[in-house]
């Protein structure tokens, strides 16, 4: 069982619900910073509050994969709603509600993480455990800023909780400075979070040093794709980070079906996941939204036909990823997320932020950028393909940088569809416009390569203007 706690630390009061695993119950009333942060239990409760902010449907409970997958090329809207239709059709603007949710939820997480980072270092407790708590918070802050900068570009960099009222209308921060903060936070997490094998069983879901290294590998690759932020060392830094994870021996590829089995969560395939469970805990709506109405779902989304047709005959992932309600159904639905114990909207499926397969493919991506002629770039991608029952790629067929990127774009589609990666994968690998054209015969304007800053934010804070070009 996985249970959760909600802690509004740094505000007027703290509200909590029951918890298990690493989220332990501790009731408080009328608590502020001055009379909180006294014990190790307080420090853990504050961190639990940061983790709990990941779960709402306006964040990783739903919005995260709406904004990242509907604006890609693998999923289509099946139940019309304007915000979703506009993401899918590349017609979104600053009034889009899901984009607004994405902005607000990331900053809510940042505020809670800032509270932990500022106050926990003063708590008298074991130094290693204290640094681990702060490392978890710096990881969460880095993850939020990484999602913000690759979604919106330049955004305000806020490093103090909202109890600091000195700057209520912050300006946007240059992209290189945001990446520098992300990398600094992740390096702290990498150095101070516990290794995966040292995290107690009742604390699964906390950040490991391997999770920090894995996210660093992707951050460096993404940074290298942005001319304003790129540095010559980005690819070698990414490779070093992915190698730390691979060489740790703590992670491995198991059976592909086990990746999504709710009875086998937090296994060696899973590097960092957001935890969900059945009521009275926070459940995940993802299963119901993908299931068709005939299977007690909402049928909100279906598989893009071009993606369904792209699978190679031997690939075992197709049968585990999608299926059709009836043999004559026009579209398949995503079946990789399932929970036989689901209660309407609530399922046990964790949201998988980083998997070991992701790190293997990031290693291959970095090696291809460093030297396209290096046959070692095939090691990671071929390990992922072997698990899927596909033959190895041969260097002769992907010898050029662009040929290998095309293969990687396809492999990442088969491996990670509907998991919240697609928009960012296509942008990082330089294939966003090409895939929109191929899948939809649609030419995408440059302005849609970034989301607009939400209108609700620019109305309150004119220092966020001008908005991103075209909005």
* pLDDT of res. 31: 55
Total domains in the fold of the chain = 1
Inside any domain, residue 276:
no
Half-sphere exposure of 101 (CA within 13 A, CB side): 21
pLDDT in tens, the chain (471 residues): 343 333 333 333 333 333 334 444 444 444 566 779 999 999 999 999 999 999 999 999 999 999 999 999 999 999 989 999 999 999 999 999 999 999 999 999 999 999 999 999 999 999 999 999 999 999 999 999 999 999 999 999 999 998 766 678 999 999 999 999 999 999 999 999 999 999 998 888 999 999 999 999 999 999 999 999 999 999 999 999 999 999 999 999 999 999 999 999 999 999 999 999 999 999 999 999 999 999 999 999 999 999 999 999 999 999 999 999 999 999 999 999 999 999 999 999 999 999 999 999 999 999 999 999 999 999 999 999 999 999 999 999 999 999 999 999 999 999 999 999 999 999 999 999 999 999 999 999 999 999 999 999 999 999 999 999 999
- Residues contacting residue 281 through CB under 8 Å, at least 6 positions apart: 1, 2, 3, 4
Inside any domain, residue 306:
yes
Inside any domain, residue 359:
no
Pair of tokens at residue 113? 């993480």
Inside any domain, residue 69:
no
In angstroms, the CA 209 to CA 193 distance is: 5
* pLDDT of res. 167: 73
Inside any domain, residue 317:
yes
How many CB atoms are closer than 10 A to CB 201?
8
* pLDDT of res. 164: 61
Inside any domain, residue 330:
yes
- Could you say which DSSP state residue 454 is in? P
* pLDDT of res. 7: 37
Could you tell me the residue range of the domain that residue 331 belongs to? 286-349
* pLDDT of res. 9: 36
Inside any domain, residue 294:
yes
Range 231-246 burial, b when 16+ CB lie within 10 A, else e: eeebbebbbebbebbb
Residue 332's φ and ψ, nearest 5 degrees, are: -85, 165
For residues 17 and 5, the answer to whether their CB atoms sit within 8 Å is yes
* pLDDT of res. 32: 64
For residues 378 and 395, the answer to whether their CB atoms sit within 8 Å is yes
Inside any domain, residue 191:
no
In angstroms, the CA 403 to CA 389 distance is: 22
């Amino acid at each position: 069982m996985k249970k959760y706690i909600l802690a509004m630390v740094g505000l007027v009061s703290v509200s909590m619900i029951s918890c298990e695993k690493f989220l332990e119950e501790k009731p408080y009333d009328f608590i502020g910073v001055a009379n909180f942060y006294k014990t190790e239990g307080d420090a853990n409760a504050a961190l639990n509050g940061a983790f709990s902010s990941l779960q709402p449907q306006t964040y990783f409970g739903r919005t995260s994969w709406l904004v990242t997958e509907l604006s890609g090329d693998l999923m289509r809207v099946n139940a019309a709603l304007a915000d979703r239709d506009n993401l899918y059709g590349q017609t979104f603007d600053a009034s889009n509600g899901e984009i607004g949710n994405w902005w607000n939820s990331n900053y809510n997480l940042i505020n809670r993480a800032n509270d932990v980072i500022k106050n926990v270092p003063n708590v008298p407790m074991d130094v290693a455990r204290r640094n681990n708590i702060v490392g978890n918070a710096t990881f969460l802050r880095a993850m939020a800023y990484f999602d913000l900068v690759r979604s919106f570009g330049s955004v305000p960099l806020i490093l103090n909780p909202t109890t600091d009222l000195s700057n209520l209308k912050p300006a946007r921060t240059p992209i290189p400075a945001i990446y520098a903060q992300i990398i600094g936070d992740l390096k702290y997490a990498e150095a101070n979070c516990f290794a995966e094998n040292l995290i107690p069983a009742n604390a699964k879901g906390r950040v490991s040093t391997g999770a920090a290294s894995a996210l660093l590998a992707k951050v460096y690759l993404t940074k290298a794709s942005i001319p304003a932020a790129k540095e010559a060392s980005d690819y070698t830094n990414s490779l070093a980070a992915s190698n730390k994870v691979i060489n740790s021996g703590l992670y491995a590829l198991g059976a592909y079906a086990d990746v999504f089995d709710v009875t086998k969560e937090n296994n060696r395939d899973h590097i960092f996941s957001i935890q969900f469970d059945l009521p009275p805990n926070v459940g995940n709506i993802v299963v119901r939204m993908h299931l068709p109405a005939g299977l007690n779902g909402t049928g909100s989304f279906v598989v893009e036909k071009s993606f369904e047709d792209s699978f190679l005959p031997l690939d075992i992932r197709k049968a585990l990823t999608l299926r059709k309600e009836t043999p004559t159904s026009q579209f398949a639905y995503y079946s990789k997320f399932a929970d036989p114990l689901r209660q309407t909207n609530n399922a046990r499926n964790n949201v998988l932020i980083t998997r070991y397969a992701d790190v293997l493919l990031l290693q291959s991506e970095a090696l291809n950028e460093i030297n396209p002629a290096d046959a070692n770039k095939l090691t990671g991608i071929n390990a992922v393909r072997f698990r899927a029952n596909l033959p190895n790629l041969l260097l002769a067929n992907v010898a050029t940088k662009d040929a290998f990127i095309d293969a990687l774009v396809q492999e990442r589609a088969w491996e990670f569809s509907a998991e919240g990666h697609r928009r960012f994968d296509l942008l990082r690998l330089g294939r966003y416009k090409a895939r929109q054209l191929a899948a939809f015969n649609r030419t995408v304007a440059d302005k849609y390569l970034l989301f607009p800053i939400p209108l609700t934010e620019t109305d309150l804070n004119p220092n966020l203007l001008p908005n991103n070009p075209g909005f």
